[in-house]
Structure 1
Amino acid sequence: MFARRALLGLAAALALSTAAPAQTQAQTQAQAQAPNPRVRIETAEGPIVLELYADKAPKTVANYLKYVDRGLFDGASFYRASKPPGYAPNDYGVIQGGLQNDPKKVLPPVAHEPTTQTGIKHVSGVISMGRHAPGTAQADWFIVIGDQDYLDADPKDPKKTPGFAAFGKVVEGMDVAQTILGKPVDPKAGTGAMKGEMLVKPVRIVRVRRVQ
């Protein structure tokens, strides 16, 4: 009787040990198939919904979601509209939003994930991180309106031209982004590359939340 119970116990243990790897594999597969997160930016001009490419730019997306989940973008603004001459006011350019390096809210910089690594090009609707040198991006980002491949890293020399870290794309609300791009800018405001590109009246970001 004792021997029979021992055999039954051994058989059960073997069944559990063989089932465990299958369960782990199933969990891994489910995680791999998980959809990319989406966030909704509520602005004074209407909502913009983004899909964030966590599968391609995991570090940049994780950084962005830290700000979203902590509510740090609530009350921020779109403050910049870069639109080169020769185009209609809302057809081509970038709009930039974020915390403008507010020392009370910014988190540590995120490692640079170039387009040569992620494969995410700066086509119309893409969201990308603002930065100074590569690896300094924190809490400011921009949405591209019109394809702008000059923002990509140069595949022939990515060290010389590292580009910007794209990490998602607008899936709803491009009309809102275009409306913001078309707003008046102050020709005297801003410094450096932002000279003449600061919005006269920044567009308030009411809140940014994940889309469930």
Structure 2
Amino acid sequence: MKRMMKRSSMLLLLTIIAVSLLSACGDKPQAEQTPGGAVANEQGKTGSSTEQPSSNSKDSSSKPTKSWSEPPKMVIDPTKNYVAKVKTNKGEFSIELFAKEQPQTVNNFVFLANEKFYDGVTFHRIIESFMVQTGDPLGTGAGGPGYTIKDEYNVKRSYEPGVVAMARTMAPDSAGSQFFICTGADAAGLDQNPTYAIFGKIKDGMDIVTSIAKTPVESNPDTGEVSKPASEIKIESVTIETT
């Protein structure tokens, strides 16, 4: 009888331990990330040259946003010069768009800007020595326009301060609306694996971009990365000019 009681007690104890372990695992956040548009990639350490611009692949917000089922048709003339005037609550800066070299990527950006898709969108990820990232209407790193575009790598440039590129997942052709602006030396680490389509460069107002990069940040509760702006930095409007 005593042996049976000991055996029963041992089985009960093992059951309790097993349930506790399963519960603990279930509480851990999923470390999914994505560069730019919609990316599920491996997370790098803050300040590391191997970091990737990222966005979470799971949608954690029900905020209504504009969405399309397919990429836009060509609305730009690649023979013309395009400049995006970006107004933020920190100031204004302009981006020279590489329409001749990256027509599909620039076309996508111009389409979204003309649709006012970026109005009110925040900079949701900031790493001063690396880049500032925006373009997600949800502000979580999980949002996009409802479609993805083809990757374009026709521009032979380095990821240096001022360069603007699409963020995407580790999967090819997965960029959508999210983009990042290189702000520090750590961005050079992307040159080892240039898989983020460079489609523009800051023309005027790099001081504003730098001030955005200096925004105090805190730990992101979903990823643990210290890159979440402690105060809201947002795009108020994007205006496209053609010459």
Q: Distance in 2 between matches of 1:178 and 1:121?
A: 18
State the match for 1:125 in structure 2: 162
Asked if 1 retains the 8 angstrom alpha-carbon contact of 2:122 and 2:135, the reply is yes
**Alignment-mate amino acid for residue 145 of structure 1:** T
Q: 2:95 aligns with which of 36, 50, 65?
A: 50
Give TM-score, length-normalised by structure 1.
0.69
Aligned residue in 1 for 2:175: 137
Partner of 1:199: 229
When you count helix as a share of all residues, which structure comes out higher? 1
Following superposition, the deviation at residue 162 of structure 1 comes to 4.8
- 1:197 partner SS: strand
Whole-angstrom distance in 2 between the partners of 1:82 and 1:130? 14
Supply the distance in 1 between the matched residues of 2:162 and 2:180 (Cα, whole angstroms). Answer: 10
Shift of 1:136: 0.6
How many Å separate the matches in 2 of 1:109 and 1:99? Answer: 13
Question: What is the rounded CA distance, in whole Å, between the counterparts of 1:128 and 1:46 in structure 2?
Answer: 21
- When residues 104 and 143 of structure 1 are mapped into structure 2, their CA distance, relative to the original with a 3 A threshold, is closer
Q: Within the alignment, does 1:106 sit opposite 2:151 as a pair?
A: no
Equivalent residue letter for 2:93: I
State which structure, 1 or 2, has the greater radius of gyration over its C-alpha atoms: 1
Q: Which amino acid in 2 is paired with 1:61?
A: V
Which residue does 1:151 correspond to in 2?
190
Partner amino acid, structure 2, of 1:44: N
Change (3 A) 1:36 1:120: farther
Residue 67 (1) aligns with residue 112 (2): yes
Report if the CA contact (8 A) 1:39-1:51 is conserved: yes
Deviation, structure 1 residue 164: 1.1
Contact 1:120 1:167 in 2 (8 A): no
Report SS of the residue matched to 2:231: strand
- Aligned positions of 1:70-109 closer than 5 A: 70-83=115-128, 92-100=129-137, 106-109=145-148
Unaligned runs of 5+ in 1: 1-30, 84-91, 155-160
Deviations 1:175-203 (A, max 9, x none): 111101101111243427xx211111130
Q: 2:205 aligns with which of 166, 170, 173?
A: 173
Contact 2:137 2:144 in 1 (8 A): no
Does the 8 Å CA contact 1:190/1:197 hold for their aligned counterparts? no
- Residue in structure 2 matched with residue 185 of structure 1 by the alignment: 217
Which secondary structure state, in structure 2, belongs to the residue aligned with residue 54 of structure 1? coil
Q: Which protein is richer in strand relative to its size?
A: 1
| Alignment match, 2:238 | 208
Name which of 68, 74, 86 aligns with 1:41: 86
Q: Which runs of 5+ in 2 are unaligned?
A: 1-76
1:190·1:196 contact (CA, 8 Å) conserved in 2? no
Displacement of 1:113 in angstroms is 1.4
* 2:51 aligned residue: none
Deviation for aligned residue 1:93: 1.9
Distance 1:189 1:178, change over 3 A: farther
CA contact (8 A) 2:87 2:236 kept: yes
Name the TM-score, length of structure 2 as normaliser: 0.60
